[in-house]
Amino acid sequence: MRHSDWFTLIPAAIVATVPANAHATVYMSVQQAQQAMFPGATFADRSANLTDPQRKAIAKASGTSAPKNQRVWEARVNESRAGWLMIDRVIGKHEYITYAVALLADGTVASVEILEYRETYGGEVRNANWRRQFVGKKAGQDMKLGRDIKNISGATLSSRNITDGVRRLLVTYDLLLAHA
């Protein structure tokens, strides 16, 4: 239904058929993040399972709970350590977001990039099966305008979860990597 000449209302009938207002965007793969955040570096996988005491200590110091496995790579340039790339996820009320944090060799944050963003209002965000459908989705490198791209306006999402997550990753770094 057209309304004036600059926007189109989406009829309720169409809205009703949209499955649980789900929406997912893949921005980068882990490999793309590595290359973007540490250009020219090689990466050594230092991912590790966190012990229960470690997870408890991280939760206490940071205020948010840590995953059982922390994904992290050491970035090396010219035989020396350039820094660390940590991959993490935050689960909001309706969002499931995977992101990457690049730390310099001294542990300071160099950059933060969102890798994948998924949202649903059907309550499935904590359901592992729902999350599985996004595994293997390719980053939208060849997106055609108008297809696959969803540009949204209407409810400003707070990135507070990411801020809290980065704080937790810095605590994890102090615990696991600062003296590695």
Q: Using the rule CB under 8 A, which residue among 9, 13, 128, 135 binds other proteins?
A: 9
What Rg, from alpha-carbon coordinates, does the chain have?
A: 19
96: phi then psi, degrees, rounded to nearest 5: -130, 115
Token pair 């989705």 in the structure block, residue: 137
- Positions in 40-59 near other proteins (CB under 8 A): none
| x/- track of binding to other proteins for residues 83-122 (CB under 8 A) | ----------xx----x-----------xxxx--x-x-x-
Please give the Cα distance from 20 to 116 (Å, whole number). 19
Distance CA 144, CA 118 (A): 20
- CB 51, CB 69: distance < 8 Å: no
Q: Is the Cβ of residue 121 or residue 178 nearer to other proteins in the bound state?
A: 121
Residue 134 in contact with other proteins, rule: CB under 8 A? no
- By the criterion CB under 8 A, which residues form the site for other proteins? 3-4, 6-10, 14-15, 18, 21, 23, 25, 27-28, 36, 93-94, 99, 111-114, 117, 119, 121, 140-146, 149-160, 162-163
